[in-house]
Amino acid sequence: MSSLSNKVIIITGASSGIGEACALHLASHQCKLVLAARSIDKLKAVAQACKAKGAEVITVSCDVAKEEDCKQLVEESIRAFGTIHVLLNNAGISMRAVFEQTDLQVIRQVMDINFWGTVYCTKYALPYILKEKGSVVGVSSIAGYKGLPGRTGYSASKFAMQGFLEALRTENMKKGLHVLIACPGYTASNIRNTALNNVGKSQSETPLDESKLMQPEEVAAYIIQAVIKRKRTLILTTQGKLAVWLNKFFPAFTDRMVYKTISKEPDSPFK
């Protein structure tokens, strides 16, 4: 962790799940944290826990789907700490519905948060990160490698995020910019409870046994280590790694495997 000590790190979606776990993990190592999320009350609770570990922390109320919020997030980070070393684009939302029955506004909302949120934050933070030869991180998903049935908008947003970050990496390959695309696989978090249905309402329940999934604290440790080692990609869980590998060499078989797996979820939107 020594290479990240005293570094300024922005974390979006920091009020819960992987974002909260990353904040708490970094707090013990004298990082300077900028925690952003829509839920300011939850965010302040995370900030207090981080301060108790010795970190310098500011919180910023931010809806990453709004460009002006993302601009303000970066401006407040600079006012507080003078620079930015790492941007961790973690804020995200999912959806669970058959595309044929889905209101297009659901797709737009998922894209606005997952894709445009990453673009907006990166746009305004990039000049400072380039000066520090720092890191831009995108918390993506196995759905960014393999389109998942019932998650058309989510998969589209993650494919878009990964394409954007890959292009950004190549554009800046001679400027010392590090870009990490992290794909955790199924992780215990609130993302499935808040996933949107076909009319844009929260599912309010998860189709998976969250206790059997990789925990956010473990995911956070992997992501932070990948930032330190300046890795290009991070794919977690055996299931996730297998899905990516099989899709590369046996795409038709993987289609059938994914369909079968997701169709068995409780209350699956398709059979």
Residue 15's pLDDT is what? 96
Residue 209's pLDDT is what? 57
Residue 202's pLDDT band, with cuts at 50, 70 and 90, is confident
- Convert the pLDDT of each residue in 174-188 to its tens digit: 999 999 999 997 776
Query: Which CATH number applies to 2-238: 3.40.50.1580, 1.10.150.170, 3.40.50.720, 1.10.150.120?
Result: 3.40.50.720
Cβ-based neighbour number of residue 52 at 10 Å: 10
Q: Which residues contact 8 (CB under 8 A, 6 or more apart)?
A: 31, 32, 34, 77, 81, 82, 83, 84, 85, 86
Residue 205's pLDDT is what? 60
Distance CA 71, CA 145 (A): 29
The full set of domain ranges for the chain reads 2-238
Residue 213's pLDDT band, with cuts at 50, 70 and 90, is confident
Over range 170-176, report the average pLDDT. Answer: 97
- Convert the pLDDT of each residue in 18-63 to its tens digit: 999 999 999 988 899 999 999 999 999 999 999 999 999 999 999 9
Residue 269's pLDDT band, with cuts at 50, 70 and 90, is confident
Residue 267's pLDDT is what? 80
Point out the residues that are catalytic.
Answer: 154
Predicted TM-score of the model (pTM): 0.93
- Convert the pLDDT of each residue in 96-152 to its tens digit: 999 999 999 999 999 999 999 999 999 999 999 999 999 999 999 999 999 999 999
Whole-number mean pLDDT of the chain?
93
Position 234 pLDDT exceeds 60: yes
